[in-house]
Amino acid sequence: MAWKKVAGHTAWLGRSSAGSHPARLRWPPLARVPSPPQVSCFENVLLDMSLEAFDDQYKDCDAKVKANWEAPTPLNFTASKDFESTWQRATSEWEERKASLRDLPSGFQAEHGTAVLAYTSRGSLYRDFNAATRAAGKSSEDYQKHFPFKRFHFLLTRAVQILGAQGSDCYTTYRGTENVHFQGADAKKQVRFGQFASSSLKEGVAQTFGKATFFTIRTCFGVRIRDLSFYLGEDEVLIPPYERFRVVRAKQENDKISIELESDGSYSSFNCGRKNGESRGFVSADPRWGCPSPLRALPWQGGWPPPWQGELQAASSC
């Protein structure tokens, strides 16, 4: 099995160069938890809401703005050294598979499928993309100037949303990490992965990639992408950056941490490429539950009434 290091640690899922095993989902740097001066094989990483992540859900975007992302224009292949070759490989794979994919929902286009395949492919694209996603949400300016994956993020997000709209399933999935101890997972705490997070329906598959921290996840926004992955045996469920979870329980035994997460709706501080007022987050319901999770808007610093007052009133009437 070939492992690659990212910021001092490696996590599931990803690829070996031979494609024999998954080794794809790496964790870019998160907030570090100070550790006592001692020799340790583990890196301590804080599990939180990942508020600096770019988490756009592209809800009700202006038609002209949305058209810019949907237009068949070239992607920014300079964003990652492997982007162009990975996209070409994914495009060829899509052409081979598309005839057999008979159950794709209406609105799912070739570029959506290609984006998912590209994300699951070997190479550095998924790693570079996730690292950039985790850091691009500091401000609208930061997103506009320093996030080179704008169109790829849109295509992958829409792929997840379109696939998720065809069913009402929540999934219990698993995710293992090697050499990383996720800290701060207090019971009832709200957290997000803050990037596209791969997980597996097969506990045994996840365990082969590490047990330093092992997640059991109940996801209601993640979608099954087995037929759109280069690695069918993973039985992968892809979780979007904006899904919010509540910690059910966490425990540590010796050098192993287990964390159980339950879906708690979604949270986005961006929409349509802009930070929402630069002062609040967009909280939405899990549509499969019918009612929003408790609303937690950040302070509004403008006039009164706030521009989203109607949104809050509509949600509170559920």
4-23 pLDDT, tens digit per residue, is: 333 334 344 444 333 444 44
Count of CB atoms within 10 A of residue 88's CB? 13
Model confidence at 283, in pLDDT bands (50, 70, 90)? low
39, 43, 11, 8: which is closest to 24 by C-alpha?
11
The amino acid at 302 = G
Task: Give the Cα separation of 286 and 175 in Å (integer).
Answer: 22
The arithmetic mean of pLDDT across residues 213-230, rounded, is 97
Give kind and range of the element (H or E) at residue 63.
Answer: helix 63-70
Decide: helix, strand or coil at residue 293.
Answer: coil
pLDDT at 23: 45
Write down the catalytic residue from 236, 263, 266, 269: 236
pLDDT at 286: 45
The arithmetic mean of pLDDT across residues 226-254, rounded, is 96
Write down the catalytic residue from 26, 122, 134, 175: 175
Write down the catalytic residue from 50, 80, 121, 198: 198
Rounded to 5°, angle at Cα 276 from 274 and 278: 95
Catalytic annotation on 198?
yes
pLDDT at 166: 72
pLDDT at 290: 37
Q: pTM higher than 0.95, yes or no? A: no
Task: Give the start-end residues of each E strand in 154-301.
Answer: 171-178, 180-183, 190-192, 197-200, 213-219, 223-224, 236-239, 243-253, 256-268, 270-271, 274-275, 282-284
The arithmetic mean of pLDDT across residues 198-225, rounded, is 95
Model confidence at 98, in pLDDT bands (50, 70, 90)? very high
pLDDT tens digits, one per residue of 69-96 = 777 667 889 899 999 999 999 999 999 9
Task: Give the Cα separation of 39 and 146 in Å (integer).
Answer: 36
Model confidence at 66, in pLDDT bands (50, 70, 90)? confident
Model confidence at 36, in pLDDT bands (50, 70, 90)? low
Model confidence at 62, in pLDDT bands (50, 70, 90)? confident
First-last CA distance in the chain = 50
Q: Please give the full DSSP string across 194-209, using - where no structure is assigned.
A: -S-EEEES-HHHHHTT
Catalytic annotation on 89?
no
Give kind and range of the element (H or E) at residue 83.
Answer: helix 83-97
pLDDT at 207: 93
Q: Which fold has domain 10-271?
A: Toxin ADP-ribosyltransferase; Chain A, domain 1 (3.90.176)
Q: Where are the domains of the chain?
A: 10-271
pLDDT at 258: 97
| Per-position b or e across 23-54, b if 16+ CB within 10 A of its CB | bbbbbbebeeeeeeeeeeebbbbebbbbebbb
Q: Which residue has the tokens 């583990």?
A: 42
pLDDT at 70: 74
Catalytic annotation on 236?
yes
312 has a pLDDT exceeding 60: no
pLDDT tens digits, one per residue of 175-196 = 999 888 999 999 999 999 999 9
Q: Torsion over CA of 126, 131, 133 and 136, rounded to 10 degrees?
A: -150
Note whether 158 and 112 are within 8 A (CB): yes
Question: Are β-strands 43-46 and 180-183 bridged in parallel, bridged antiparallel, or unpaired?
Answer: parallel
Task: Give the Cα separation of 180 and 41 in Å (integer).
Answer: 9
The arithmetic mean of pLDDT across residues 300-312, rounded, is 36
Note whether 53 and 157 are within 8 A (CB): no
pLDDT at 276: 81
Side-chain-side CA neighbours of 78 within 13 Å: the count stands at 3
